[in-house]
Amino acid sequence: MRAPSPMMRQYELVDRVKAYNPNCDEALLDKAYIYAMKAHGTQKRASGAPYFSHPLEVAAILTDLRLDDATIVAAVLHDTVEDTDSTVADIERLFGAEIAALVDGLTKIKKLDFVSKKATQGENFRKLLLAVAEDVRVLLVKLADRLHNMRTLHFVPPAKRVRIAEETLDIYAPLAGRMGMQDMREELEDLAFQHIKPDAYQTIGERLDRLTAASTGLITEIESVLQARLVERGISAMVKGRRKQPYSIWKKMERKSVSFEQLSDVFGFRVIVDDVDDCYRALGVVHTAWPMVPGRYKDYISTPKQNDYRSIHTTVIGPGHQRAELQIRTRAMDRVAEFGIAAHALYKDGVDPERRPLDDTAAYRWLRHTVDLLAENENPDEFLEHTKLELFHDQVFCFTPKGLLIALPRGATPIDFAYAVHTKVGNTAVGCKVNGRIAPLLSELQNGDEVEIIRSEGQTPPSAWEALVVTGKARAAIRRATRAAVRRQYAGLGRQIVERAFERAGRAFSEDALKAALPRLARTSVEDVLAATGRGEMFSGDVVRAVYPDHLDEKKPAPIQAPAGKGWFGLKKGSHMKFRLPDSERPEAIPIRGLNGDLPVTLAPDGGAVPGDRIVGILNPGEGITIYPIQSSALAAFENEPDRWLDVRWDMEEVGQQRFPARIQLKSINEPGTLAQITHVIAEHSGNIDNISMVRRTPDFTDMTIDLAVWDLKHLNAIIAQLRGKSVVSRIERVIG
């Protein structure tokens, strides 16, 4: 193990702060140093170093970010409440309310464990963002705390190392990136990568070292040639080359399925100039001197990233026919690219007049927007999923027809675009135009696309969209819309069931009367009662009795004995059914308009049902109605559950033609062309074959089971009659499960 570095001394910490803030509160810094040192006493870290060295290193990292006195002091004190006898009240009494609030926020975050069960992880992430939203400096201290812990992770037992590294890669590194702190993100990713995939890290590192040694002359040449070209045009600039980190190289190799040797942009160059005008002048110099690689130009100055990052990116074929990836930006932009949101932090005495207030930054607005989503997402898993989607994706920039800029994750579709504009636009989207042309809603959007969403007010987003979109906002909105649509279906079904129950009881149904009975039903709204009834969680008879407590249950009809033979329900002769047979012609029966209607309806498994069949509905809790032909033997399983039986009838007059499932079974003669003759008959009669299974029972005969889709009972019977007339068919019958 490597030996721990010597602990920073009191004057060294003060000197680091005074280097960028000469007017700092030196006495406050000294006081915090002494207090924390005494509080931690003889505590040791896993490395054997005094524990107090850790908060000092965290504070040192924050001095590199040039943060204010309160944040530096909070970093020095951040473990005192968690790991010593100190309390938040003690901190407030000695250091003031502002510093106490920062330490308290950090203490709450320290208790969170993200690498745990998914639901707990989601809930903890909510707490993290809620804590940092009050004061983003809490997040800056936490990120610095994690960075120092990662730098010393080699002292931690191996099993714990991997857990902490995964947590860092999953949560903290992308969060640092989302706050614009790209250098910190890269270091966190690289430190985590070497513990999660040590072999890959070592291999890529060795290849990078060999490539760097071989390319030193070329890198120097590109720097000097580029510097000279800019000077010739009167542009004051600093050019510096840098190689990419092992983790970013590994991710690119994985994403593009290429080998290390196939990568052409391992080295990048930054061109730092004085102002925005010089950025575009430098770009002109570069593109005039060397050919540009098509598709590799991005202007993040005119359209900044959501974390405030601004720069021009381009790739050219430079000296020695070597690809050179360039980033051109001003010094102020470079500071934001390096420090992110920390570059805007204001210290109390306003040392740096160029810094903007935190709440005026895009990164902080994203943080506030994400926290606002807490009110919309009751499910912590969904919140975590949404936020991770926001954290991990790079961006594309698209426009509405009116010129509004919409920033989306790379890989986004017009559906994501629609939801980014407004949830209602997404929910009612039925089509789109991309750059004036009709395009699929699942097209991948590119930078600069103009997207027009075609809407229909009656539209409900298909639930399948949820798996196809890439933004958390779209996914959450589709889930909510799907749930609302399902709830409306169940409420619609429940209303019909309840209205018919009141009708059978000879009582008047009204929503006002039902509303008055809500306390007795333990529900908060009429819609809740109707949806619960539709889902089968509440029986209609209970609703009637809640509204009319004096109502007596209707008398059950006398049991009906099944006729001789198989019986209407496939029961043995002499069986008794303890329920009333539904009359499908009764006007009060619930109308069934196929599978695409406004009720949650499924058709019986193992045979289905078709219009023309006399049918009965069975209410399945949480699943809606299953429709069975009245002669189905499966109905015997519900003999003792009369409350689940519903009177239903076909009502297909107002619905366009749709097919319904049916099953036939036949015994065919084994001879050439038999299957062709059977399928030809079905095709001639416009039947659609969904599935065929064949079993040869004897050398001469084969049993076939064919699942069909037909219009109605008349259509099915016509197919059966035609097949029965074929000489290759020995026997045929419809199968009703």
CA-nearest of 437, 428, 384, 392 to 412 is: 392
The phi and psi torsions of 606 (rounded to 5 degrees) equal 60, 50
With contact defined as beta carbons under 8 Å apart, do 111 and 153 qualify? no
Identity of the amino acid at 337: A
The phi and psi torsions of 646 (rounded to 5 degrees) equal -125, 140
Q: Is residue 82 annotated as part of the catalytic site, yes or no? A: yes
Choose, from 26, 30, 64, 83, the residue flagged as catalytic: 83
Q: Give the pair of three-digit tokens for residue 353.
A: 């007049």
Q: Which residues contact 43 (CB under 8 A, 6 or more apart)?
A: 50, 51, 52, 83, 84
Choose, from 26, 30, 64, 82, the residue flagged as catalytic: 82
Question: DSSP character for 171?
Answer: I
Taking the C-alpha atoms of residue 508 and residue 580, their distance in angstroms, rounded to an integer, is 23
Taking the C-alpha atoms of residue 517 and residue 546, their distance in angstroms, rounded to an integer, is 6
Q: Which residues pair with 645 in a beta bridge?
A: 618
Taking the C-alpha atoms of residue 267 and residue 244, their distance in angstroms, rounded to an integer, is 6
Sheet containing strand 312-317, strands side by side: 237-243, 267-273, 323-330, 312-317, 298-299
Q: Is residue 64 annotated as part of the catalytic site, yes or no? A: no
Taking the C-alpha atoms of residue 220 and residue 224, their distance in angstroms, rounded to an integer, is 6
Please provide the DSSP assignment of 185-224 as one string. HHHHHHHHHHHHSHHHHHHHHHHHHHHHHHHHHHHHHHHH
Using CA atoms in the order 605, 611, 613, 614, what is the torsion angle rounded to 10 degrees?
Answer: 100
Q: Which residues contact 297 (CB under 8 A, 6 or more apart)?
A: 312, 313, 314, 315
CA distances in angstroms from 250 to 75, 100, 193, 294, 523, listed in the order given: 33, 42, 9, 24, 55
Any idea which residues carry the catalytic annotation?
Answer: 82-83
